[in-house]
Amino acid sequence: MKPLKNRRGQVENSEIVVGSFYYLANSSTNMIFTGLDIPFSSSENLNGVIHQPGTAAIIVSESGDYQFDYSVNITAGFPPPGGQIALTVNGIAKKTTILVVPGEVTDSVELTLNAGDVVTLKNTLMPLTLAVEPTKGVKLEITKKK
């Protein structure tokens, strides 16, 4: 994104990363069944969001406009060709992404959120198998627009 300049021609930050989240699966945790939220095993750079590693819920602390960039790396879907992931806010799907086996699919969405909103990634179509570590099965980065 091109940086914004104020009236004096100074560059201002137009966005700030508020969190990066990863799901590192092993052979016993890489199956995500239909209807389940994907738990993020680790999170970093938290600034304005709350997340407990090992859980799915990401709680937004401040109202505003946010961008969500995510990728899902799957090795199998039952039945093929893949699955479907939804980015949800308070349990309601706001963006869905069709997954193709095998491979990594990326997507993004911008949403206006309120303080206290809960964001998750949910498997909505059929069971799927994520890539195992050291590959990140799921990655999510949240950026707040200024």
> What pLDDT is attached to residue 2?
44
Report which DSSP code applies to 25.
B
Count of Cβ atoms closer than 10 Å to residue 96 Cβ: 15
Give me the chain's average pLDDT, please.
Answer: 86
Residues 6+ apart with CB under 8 A from 4: 11, 12, 14
Question: Which residue matches tokens 């100074």?
Answer: 10
Mean pLDDT (whole number) for 96-125: 91
Name the residue ranges covered by the structural domains of the chain: 11-145
Q: Rounded CA gap, 38 and 122, in Å?
A: 6
> What pLDDT is attached to residue 17?
82
In terms of phi and psi (left: phi > 0; alpha: psi -120 to 50; beta: otherwise), the region of 89 is beta
Q: Are strands 128-130 and 64-77 parallel, antiparallel or unpaired?
A: antiparallel
The one-letter amino acid at 13: N
pLDDT surpasses 80 at 93: yes
pTM of the model: 0.84
Percent of the chain with pLDDT over 90: 51
CATH 3.30.450.190: does it fit domain 11-145?
Answer: no
